[in-house]
Structure formats: structure tokens, C-alpha cells
Amino acid sequence: MNYNIELEVYNGPYDLILDLVKKNELDIYDIEINLITSQFLEYIKAVEELNLELTSDFIVMASTLLEIKSKMLLPKQTQKEDEENEEDPRDELVQKLLEYERFKKVTEILMEQEKYEMKSFLNLKRIFHI
């Protein structure tokens, strides 16, 4: 199930917005997090069954955007101090996205393994008439 975000600066899948911010293709200041959240709450009310995976992914995405935006809005001390002391908040996002991708790949592998094991089990049931 895909959920799309509709903003003036972006229309598309919710999980792609983080990637665009990471690549500096979308300015974090142009993203209205309150509008994204309102749209998602309307979506949740409209669907008959709550999709926990989609909801948890959305919460991670929205909270990450909020964290990045809040860090970017904080006043800078001096440019030298910032370069020495503070990392770009998008770096953390990149790490989270990479970790998320690893989990998605592992999930896919485990699901394929489960399908294989189920086929093997069903074959055993037929062989031994269980």
C-alpha cells in the first residue's frame, strides 16, 4: 500500500521525500510538516484497516524531518565552531535511511525463506500423509 504526500513543492510517495532532502533536491524549509501530518491523519480516518507498517514508517519519516528542520532552524554560533563541533543533521538521516534499507532487504530475504520453507513443509505433509 502506497501513501502519497501532496505539497506545493512535492507530490509523491512519502518515503521518497527523505531521500530528496538527503540529496538536497528538496529544501527542508519548504516542507510543511503540519500539512503532511494532517493529510496522513485524514488518510488513516478514511481507510478501514490500520496499516501498522505504513503508520510506523510515516512516524519515522515525519519525526526525522522534524528533527532535521529544528536543527537547521537553530541559530548558528560561528561558522568555524559549527564546522568543528556540529555535523550536518542530514548525515544522521543518511545513516537512518541506509539502516532502513538494510532492514527492508533482510525482511525480503526472510519472507522468501519463509515461502521456501512452507513449500518444503507442504511437500513433507503430502509424502507422509500428515
Task: Report pLDDT for 110.
Answer: 92
Say what the pLDDT of residue 101 is: 83
Tell me the average confidence (pLDDT) per consecutive run of 10 residues in the chain, 130 residues long: 81 81 83 88 84 85 84 71 64 78 89 85 71
| Residue indicated by cell numbers 509523491 | 12
At which residue does the C-alpha cell 532492514 appear? 103
The predicted structure's pLDDT at residue 83 = 59
| SS3 label, residue 56 | helix
Task: Classify burial at 64, counting beta carbons within 10 Å of its beta carbon; exposed 0-12, middle 13-18, buried 19 or more.
Answer: buried
CA–CA dist 10, 104 (Å, integer): 24
Return d(Cα 26, Cα 28) in angstroms, integer: 6
pLDDT at 109: 93
Q: Is the pTM of this model over 0.75?
A: no
Contact 18, 61 (CB under 8 A): yes
Question: What whole-number distance in Å separates Cα of residue 24 and Cα of residue 72?
Answer: 13
Within 10 Å of residue 15's Cβ, how many Cβ atoms? 18
